[in-house]
Amino acid sequence: MATIAKPSGGVSLDLKQKRASQVVRVVRQALGLPPVVEAIPAPDPPDTPEGSDLLSGPFADLLMAELETGVIVFDREGRLVRANAGAGRILRGCELTAGRATIASVCHDFNQPLEREIWDVIAGREPLAAADISFAVPDGEWIAVRRSIRPISMSGMLRGALVLLDDIAEARRVRSLLDRTSSSEVTKTLIEAPAPALAGEIREATILFADIRGFTALADSLGPLRTVELLNRYFSYMADVIAAEGGIIDKFIGDAIMALFGLPRSHGDDADRAVAAARNMHRALKLLNEHLAGSGHKLEIGIGIASGRLVAGQIGSPDRMNYTVIGSPVNLAARIERVTKSYDSGILICGDTFARLARRPAVRKVDVVVLKGYHAPTTIFEVFVDEPGAGATEWLQAFDAGVCAYVGGDFVAAQKHLARAQAANPADTMTAVLARRCRRLGLQDRE
């Protein structure tokens, strides 16, 4: 007990241990008294054996018991000093008794990399930030954990290592489920990005629509089970190709695919990636058709691509939301895909997409049309799946001249140029389509 004297009497306070001097100083200052010269000594700490002070005490016991994270403490000799219940749950079957277990016994069999990492930290090397690893438990199973390792220093001396472990098996299961219901890139953004990033924003992107021609009749002949089997097989091929070019599948619409390039993150060359994906989708389809040859079925697809500004974000109801896009480029890509059959073309792109191409494959302008739902004309280009080669120069020049005359309304001149192109390459169906159109339009003009 300490008593502070003042002119009007005394103030008695119970001053405990090393906090006493601080309390006395504050109270004397408040009362206007001079400071005390004598210091109140703090009691010496009790002698403790080495290692027993590493995360010890009642508060530490409570904290360790409540943590879901596994906490393991090793001293500088590699002996296990402490492990909480969380570590026991995560490393099921491992011996984690203090004083008995060691780094070597915990990191048994196939866990030597973790053993070396712990020893490296005890030896004074850099602490190891969190990283995902696989850990072999005694029953032979591999579990997914996130580990981080920190040194324990006291009075400037390394005393051991603190190992933190988190069970990420459930997180991986949820991530896998999300990856199956949406693109892995969207899943990653959902997990890592702040909420406003997916709330809705104006973005530049390229949209791809692909559709199987004549699939309704094919589905009627196959029946439900074989239809689903064929679709899943086809989608597997196409999804791999789209993902390889950095695209994400927004949705499957019956037998159609809607894919996004430049979302949720832009690669800077998204139009090039979309066109490359479209070409590779046709190549992949060729492989699939070779496997289907025995069944007598052959799939054909049309692909439409458009680029521009659109709205992207999580759209839906409070109970169900999808990351998707809305805007003119989406509708335009769908419209272009629908006219691929009219032009007997595998890939058609709009003028905006063409203008964005930095790595231009073999492309030709085929028409300027006003598509359904649009007032302004759209320039359409065809992308060749395979390069036509140097020998195609003559007929492509004749074709280009025919298209220029056709777009300019000179259908007679257009027919002449297209006739030359058709003579040079009779197999080109696009030339035949435009030649027939020019003849029909030329007859209308005469009337």
**Mind listing the pLDDT tens digit for each residue in 129-138?**
889 899 999 9
Residue pair 164/71 in contact (Cβ under 8 Å)? The answer is yes
Which of left, alpha, beta for 99 (phi over 0: left; psi -120 to 50: alpha)? left
Q: The pTM is what? A: 0.64
- Structural class in CATH, domain 198-387: alpha beta
Phi, psi at 285, each rounded to 5°:
-65, -35
For residues 347-357, give the mean pLDDT: 97
Asked if residue 156 lies in contact with residue 173, where contact means CB atoms within 8 angstroms, the answer is no
Residue 68: the pLDDT is: 85
- Assigned token pair, 178: 């999300």
With contact defined as beta carbons under 8 Å apart, do 206 and 274 qualify? yes
Tell me, what's the pLDDT at 45?
A: 46
- Mean pLDDT, range 243-263, rounded to an integer: 94
Q: Residue 349 above 90 pLDDT?
A: yes
CB contact at 8 A, 190 and 175:
no
pLDDT of residue 18: 42
Calpha distance 23→18 (Å, rounded): 10
Q: Which of 227, 259, 268, 249 is nearest to 358 (CA)?
A: 268
Is the pLDDT reported for residue 41 higher than 50?
Answer: no
Per-residue pLDDT tens over the stretch 96-153: 999 899 999 999 878 999 999 999 999 998 888 889 899 999 988 999 999 999 999 8
Given 3-state DSSP classes, what are the helix, strand and coil percentages for the chain, each rounded to the nearest 5? 45, 25, 30
What is the C-alpha to C-alpha distance for residues 190 and 178, in angstroms, rounded to an integer?
10
Token pair in block for residue 376: 């302004």
For the chain, domain boundaries: 1-44, 58-167, 198-387, 389-447
Give dist(CA 256, CA 279) in Å, integer: 16
43 or 155, greater pLDDT: 155
Is residue 1 very low, low, confident or very high in pLDDT (cuts 50, 70, 90)? very low
Non-local CB neighbours of 211 within 8 Å, separated by 6+ positions: 255, 256, 257, 301, 302, 337, 338
- pLDDT mean over 264-280: 95
Residues with Cβ within 8 Å of 314's Cβ and at least 6 positions away in sequence, in order, are: 198, 199, 200, 321, 322, 323
Q: Which DSSP letter does residue 44 get? A: P
CATH superfamily of 58-167: PAS domain (3.30.450.20)
Q: Is the pLDDT of residue 425 over 80?
A: yes
Distances (CA, A) of 63 to 56, 146, 167: 10, 20, 18
Residue 315, pLDDT score:
83
Please, which pLDDT band fits residue 445 given cuts at 50, 70 and 90? low
- Residue 218's SS3 state is helix
Distances (CA, A) of 231 to 53, 238, 252, 286: 64, 10, 10, 15
Q: From residue 74, give the alpha-carbon distance in Å to each of 29, 164, 251.
A: 47, 12, 51
